[in-house]
């Protein structure tokens, strides 16, 4: 199996990597044009999922191809607001998901990584 990396980053990671029929998307954070978006978890979740769509597109995938996500919330009390936004982005057959509360690497409220399946 070969590995193909997509996109570039200012940190040592690839935004998306294809390994066979699977695409692995690195954790997406609520950053636009190099700046953390203003607002609460609702606004930050919208940006994260927009960034996720863009990373998937680098590998020729879409949100419908996502089979698993892992979500880190800075505060578990934000779960309801996050979940409302997330549900709009995965309206049909949502992927398997793990959601945990954790201190994040930068001052943000959410990070999401994904695994997509799209046969070559």
- Of the candidates 106, 50, 112, 41, the one whose C-alpha atom is nearest the C-alpha of residue 76 is 41
**What CATH number did the domain enclosing 16 receive?**
3.30.1330.40
Q: How confident is the model at residue 13 (pLDDT cuts 50, 70, 90)?
A: confident
Q: Please count the helices (runs of H) and the strands (runs of E) in the chain.
A: 2, 8
Mean pLDDT over residues 29-52, rounded? 96
Domains held by the chain: number: 1
Q: How confident is the model at residue 6 (pLDDT cuts 50, 70, 90)?
A: confident
The number of beta carbons lying within 10 Å of the beta carbon of residue 60 is 14
Residue 17 lies in domain:
3-117
What is the token pair recorded at 92? 């049909």
**pTM (2 d.p.):** 0.93
Contact indicator for 110, 22 with CB cutoff of 8 Å? no
Contact indicator for 74, 104 with CB cutoff of 8 Å? yes
What is the token pair recorded at 54? 């863009």
Contact indicator for 71, 25 with CB cutoff of 8 Å? no
> How far, in Å, CA of 75 to CA of 101, rounded?
6
Contact indicator for 22, 115 with CB cutoff of 8 Å? yes
């Amino acid at each position: 199996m070969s590995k193909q990396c997509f996109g570039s980053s200012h940190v040592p990671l690839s935004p998306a990597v294809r390994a066979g029929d699977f695409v692995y998307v690195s954790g997406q954070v609520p950053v636009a044009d190099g700046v953390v978006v203003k607002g609460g978890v609702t606004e930050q979740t919208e940006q994260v999922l927009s960034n996720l769509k863009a990373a998937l597109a680098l590998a020729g995938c879409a949100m419908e191809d996502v089979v698993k996500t892992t979500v880190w919330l800075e505060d578990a009390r934000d779960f309801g607001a996050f979940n409302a936004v997330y549900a709009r982005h995965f309206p049909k057959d949502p992927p398997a998901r793990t959601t945990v509360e954790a201190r994040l690497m930068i001052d943000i409220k959410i990070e999401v990584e994904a695994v997509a399946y799209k046969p070559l």
